[in-house]
Chain A
């Protein structure tokens, strides 16, 4: 079976004021459907850059991302947006909820942006992360752990093929981290959710089926 997500010679070089800074140097990575992969590495090793490229938020300098059998090289912004909508769910380190609207509206927004009917899905998804009672609260009325659970609900309500999590426990205390990791692990085990998780924490990385290490823009294990 072909991998759900595959990178081939993925290279990213940032240029500023005539100075080229390589962030990724030819990364080859394959993630199978239903797999839970952790990517670990020190700060600045290119983890987040890799995640943004996997999520088609950015374009590589060289190489390509093949997502669900589609080579995304050469896709224009509209095409990448469509692929992202169709296949990707994002969870960010800083939760990144919209502060002006409630938890339920944040979750519903992901469906609305895709033009899908909303129905009871946001409420059910918030129930699945244990926040049904607090669904009408705005993010600033929730604890940071709860905010991250809302972010997970928002990422998964669209039933994405792959969940990309960028240091999802990076801003959480140990208790909230446990809850979030249990939640992510539960979706993986029970629903077969494909997950790519970035972390610099060994214990968090150990939750995954496979651990990939990065250094200086390259994969060193995995």
Chain B
């Protein structure tokens, strides 16, 4: 009753403080949610029906035709334990306002990318020529549909299929067509997916690739980790931003509650006079801070919802995953920040001399 009445007597200040807490909550949720974009890319790249990726030894970014496709494939197939080899030529193209990493693949290799039943949502896989398959996310973001024509590398490609998102690239074209578009006279590849005959063969295959072909060979799990390591500093940067936001919220709460206590010095004396203990005065101040915090958490959740919707509207291919448990973390963070911010003023209020407080003008 009293805590709520007290904070409602200063509605604007209460609202501003709650908003500050809310901004902290929303920053935490949105920025941490944005890191899921990196994971989504790594997940897609590693989510192929194969065991090993073979890449040029000195290439960091998987793009361009760094390897001769046919001869490398032939050498890989000679390694004992290798069941299948899938050459991929990656090349960027501008679609839906962003560079997309197009996967040039052999049409016969499509089953390695079509993990799970019903990946084709509409149309069919690429067969030959200037055909293109795109995933559902890019289709939604760019408004692409089966039968539509897309300009790429000076050619007109026809969209022949829409596939469910989540495997490798967002765009697939025949590898021969992509080679032709890049004016390679001999077929080139960026990297190879290699399927082994069993887990026991993976180690020997990797050793053979390194020793005989002088190429890098990663398991898909290792490649996932390599990709995540590439972005290892990103969470640190985001963490720093979240920390600063949280600290600013803490300071706002501290200042607001401190001001509240100063303003109500006399009231605290009255409360002590009519029977309030120090603990009750402390509890009253903390309850007011708690209510502001609760308002801030609700505001933060609403801001998160709005910010996420806005970002995904502007950047449909970004990923902002916020699992429900993270809302609990954000709420806990806000509660802890508010508690710490309110602690000093609440203790000060509890320790106030009642007589001095009653004489306060």
Q: Which residues of A contact B (CB under 8 A)?
A: 52, 55, 57-58, 77-78, 81, 84-85, 88, 90, 92, 96-101, 105, 109-110, 113-114, 154-155, 158
Q: Give Cα A207 to B278, complex, Å.
A: 36
Query: In the complex, what's the smallest C-beta–C-beta distance from B187 to chain A, in angstroms?
Result: 79
B window 269-288: CB within 8 A of A: 269-278, 280
Contact residues in B for A113 (Cβ distance below 8 Å): 271, 274-277, 280
A85 touches B275 (CB 8 A): yes
B277 touches A57 (CB 8 A): no
Select which of B8, B275, B280 is within 8 A of A84 by beta carbon: B275
Query: With contacts A57-B355, A96-B273, A154-B274 known, what are 14 further pairs, Cβ within 8 A?
Result: A57-B272, A81-B272, A88-B275, A90-B273, A92-B273, A96-B358, A98-B5, A98-B271, A100-B8, A105-B2, A109-B2, A110-B274, A113-B274, A113-B277
B354 touches A100 (CB 8 A): no
CB of B51 within 8 A of chain A? no
Select which of A58, A77, A101 is within 8 A of B355 by beta carbon: A58
C-beta contact mask, B307-347 vs A, less than 8 Å → 1, else 0? 00000000000000000000000000000000000000000
Contact residues in A for B276 (Cβ distance below 8 Å): 81, 113
A81 touches B277 (CB 8 A): yes
Q: Give Cα A77 to B280, complex, Å.
A: 13
Select which of B5, B9, B267, B275 is within 8 A of A114 by beta carbon: B275
Q: Give Cα A81 to B5, complex, Å.
A: 25
Contact residues in B for A78 (Cβ distance below 8 Å): 277-278
Q: Give Cα A158 to B273, complex, Å.
A: 13
B277 touches A90 (CB 8 A): no
Q: Give Cα A84 to B8, complex, Å.
A: 30
Q: Give Cα A85 to B2, complex, Å.
A: 19
- Please give me the 7 A-B residue pairs with the lowest Cβ-Cβ distance, nearest first: A100-B5, A85-B275, A96-B270, A113-B275, A81-B277, A57-B354, A90-B273
Query: In the complex, what's the smallest C-beta–C-beta distance from B277 to chain A, in angstroms?
Result: 5
Q: Which residues of B contact A (CB under 8 A)?
A: 1-2, 5-6, 8-9, 266-267, 269-278, 280, 353-355, 358
User: Of all chain A residues, which has the CB nearest B266?
Assistant: A96
Query: In the complex, what's the smallest C-beta–C-beta distance from B282 to chain A, in angstroms?
Result: 12
Select which of A81, A84, A100 is within 8 A of B2 by beta carbon: A100
Contact residues in A for B272 (Cβ distance below 8 Å): 57, 81
Contact residues in A for B6 (Cβ distance below 8 Å): 100
Query: In the complex, what's the smallest C-beta–C-beta distance from B73 to chain A, in angstroms?
Result: 79
Q: Give Cα A97 to B275, complex, Å.
A: 14
A77 touches B8 (CB 8 A): no
User: Of all chain A residues, which has the CB nearest B351?
Assistant: A77
User: Of all chain A residues, which has the CB nearest B354?
Assistant: A57
Q: A77-B278, A105-B1, A113-B280 are in contact. Are A98 and B267 (CB under 8 A)?
A: yes
Interface centre among B270, B271, B277, B278 (most CB of A within 10 A): B270
Q: Give Cα A55 to B273, complex, Å.
A: 8
Contact residues in A for B280 (Cβ distance below 8 Å): 113
Contact residues in B for A57 (Cβ distance below 8 Å): 272-273, 354-355, 358
Q: Give Cα A90 to B357, complex, Å.
A: 15
Contact residues in B for A109 (Cβ distance below 8 Å): 2, 274
B2 touches A98 (CB 8 A): yes
A52 touches B8 (CB 8 A): no
Q: Give Cα A52 to B272, complex, Å.
A: 11
Q: Give Cα A77 to B272, complex, Å.
A: 11
B275 touches A99 (CB 8 A): no
Can you list 24 residue pairs at the A/B interface with Cβ under 8 Å? A52-B355, A57-B273, A57-B354, A57-B358, A58-B354, A78-B278, A81-B275, A81-B277, A84-B275, A85-B275, A90-B273, A98-B2, A100-B5, A100-B8, A100-B9, A101-B1, A101-B2, A105-B5, A109-B2, A113-B276, A113-B277, A113-B280, A154-B274, A158-B275
Q: Give Cα A98 to B8, complex, Å.
A: 13
Q: Give Cα A105 to B274, complex, Å.
A: 13
Contact residues in A for B267 (Cβ distance below 8 Å): 98
Q: A57-B272, A113-B274, A154-B274 are in contact. Are A99 and B355 (CB under 8 A)?
A: no
A99 touches B9 (CB 8 A): yes
Query: In the complex, what's the smallest C-beta–C-beta distance from B3 to chain A, in angstroms?
Result: 10
Select which of B270, B277, B355 is within 8 A of A98 by beta carbon: B270
Contact residues in B for A110 (Cβ distance below 8 Å): 274-275
Contact residues in B for A100 (Cβ distance below 8 Å): 2, 5-6, 8-9
Q: Give Cα A90 to B275, complex, Å.
A: 9
Select which of A81, A88, A96, A114 is within 8 A of B278 by beta carbon: A81
Interface centre among B2, B267, B280 (most CB of A within 10 A): B2
Interface centre among B273, B278, B280, B358 (most CB of A within 10 A): B273
Select which of A90, A96, A101 is within 8 A of B5 by beta carbon: A101
Contact residues in A for B274 (Cβ distance below 8 Å): 90, 109-110, 113, 154-155
Query: In the complex, what's the smallest C-beta–C-beta distance from A50 to chain B, in angstroms?
Result: 12
Q: Give Cα A155 to B274, complex, Å.
A: 7
Contact residues in A for B273 (Cβ distance below 8 Å): 55, 57, 90, 92, 96
Query: In the complex, what's the smallest C-beta–C-beta distance from A99 to chain B, in angstroms?
Result: 7
Q: Give Cα A55 to B266, complex, Å.
A: 17
